[in-house]
Amino acid sequence: MKHQGTQGPASGAESVIRFEDVTKRFGEKAVLDKLSLEVVRGETLCIMGPSGTGKSVTLRHIIGLMKPDSGSIFVGGHEMSTIKPDDLRDLRRRMGYLFQDGALINWLSVGDNIALPLRETTDLTEAEILDRVNAKLELVKLDGAFDKFPNEISGGMRKRVGLARALITDPEIVLYDEPNSGLDPETSQGVDRLIRELANTLDITSVVVTHLVSCIRVVADRVLLLEAGNTVVDCSPEDFISSSHPRVKRFLGKDPD
């Protein structure tokens, strides 16, 4: 279904993530209601929308943690309902996921939290793992925090540890769920710049769930407003911010009334 203001990505580019009429119900409620979307290689799609509208559920479908009731999801060339377990494991290695709450393990040090995906999915030696973890700590500006524990560092630092862990396998696709939540403005801007830098320099395909206009200004190539499990608009960040669409204006708090 096409909506007013629906633009989609530039045609001709390689499709990395595609939803075709995806419906997901919990009980009676269709949380995703015939949702279609596409993200092409190297692109950053921001998903905005009121809370409870299916943003996190959308990310969980991309990573294969949830299956749709109907419709199709393609990620990295695989159809997610029929993907073989081995292929799903390979695909997961190519994806990073920054969970909304950071999801760090409290009894593991910062370094061990970041190393976890490497220990679980690769045969790297301990020395190789330490090198990679330290490189990622440097990337998120947490050099020296290897031996700290999650409860010894600030919320902003925990978020950046989650980011380092999402990036530790050098993924081609990174999903960020509210990367700015709980951060002070300065740290929040730092995270935005980092997401942009990664997308630019490593050609990462990204999906960022956010409710901040400041975030979409820095990171988004395209913005999708989700409401009740479907797309209201899908457009450039500039068009989104200046949109006259009543639901966009209401979401941005620019209700004419």
Binding site for ligand ADP (CB under 6 A): 26, 31, 49, 51-57
The Cα–Cα gap between 76 and 147 comes to: 35
Interstrand relation of 44-48 and 222-227 (parallel, antiparallel or unpaired): parallel
DSSP 151: G
* DSSP three-state, residue 237: helix
Cβ atoms of 174 and 166 within 8 Å: the answer is yes
CB of 52 to ligand ADP, least distance (A): 4
CB of 34 to ligand ADP, least distance (A): 16
* DSSP three-state, residue 127: helix
Given Mg ion, ligand ADP, none, residue 4, with its beta carbon under 5 to 8 Å by kind, binds none
Given Mg ion, ligand ADP, none, residue 52, with its beta carbon under 5 to 8 Å by kind, binds ligand ADP
Interstrand relation of 205-209 and 173-177 (parallel, antiparallel or unpaired): parallel
CB of 134 to Mg ion, least distance (A): 31
CB of 100 to Mg ion, least distance (A): 5
Given ligand ADP, Mg ion, none, residue 111, with its beta carbon under 5 to 8 Å by kind, binds none
CB of 130 to Mg ion, least distance (A): 33
The Cα–Cα gap between 148 and 119 comes to: 19
The two three-digit tokens of residue 125, written as one number: 């030696």
The Cα–Cα gap between 1 and 34 comes to: 8
Q: Which is nearer to ligand ADP, 55 or 160 (CB)?
A: 55
Given ligand ADP, Mg ion, none, residue 98, with its beta carbon under 5 to 8 Å by kind, binds none
Given Mg ion, ligand ADP, none, residue 26, with its beta carbon under 5 to 8 Å by kind, binds ligand ADP
Q: Which residues contribute to the site for Mg ion (CB under 5 A)?
A: 55-56
CB of 205 to ligand ADP, least distance (A): 20
The Cα–Cα gap between 252 and 212 comes to: 9
Q: By Cβ distance, which residue is nearest to Mg ion?
A: 56
Q: Which is nearer to ligand ADP, 24 or 160 (CB)?
A: 24
Burial class (CB in 10 A: 0-12, 13-18, 19+), 98: buried
The Cα–Cα gap between 39 and 21 comes to: 15
Given Mg ion, ligand ADP, none, residue 161, with its beta carbon under 5 to 8 Å by kind, binds none
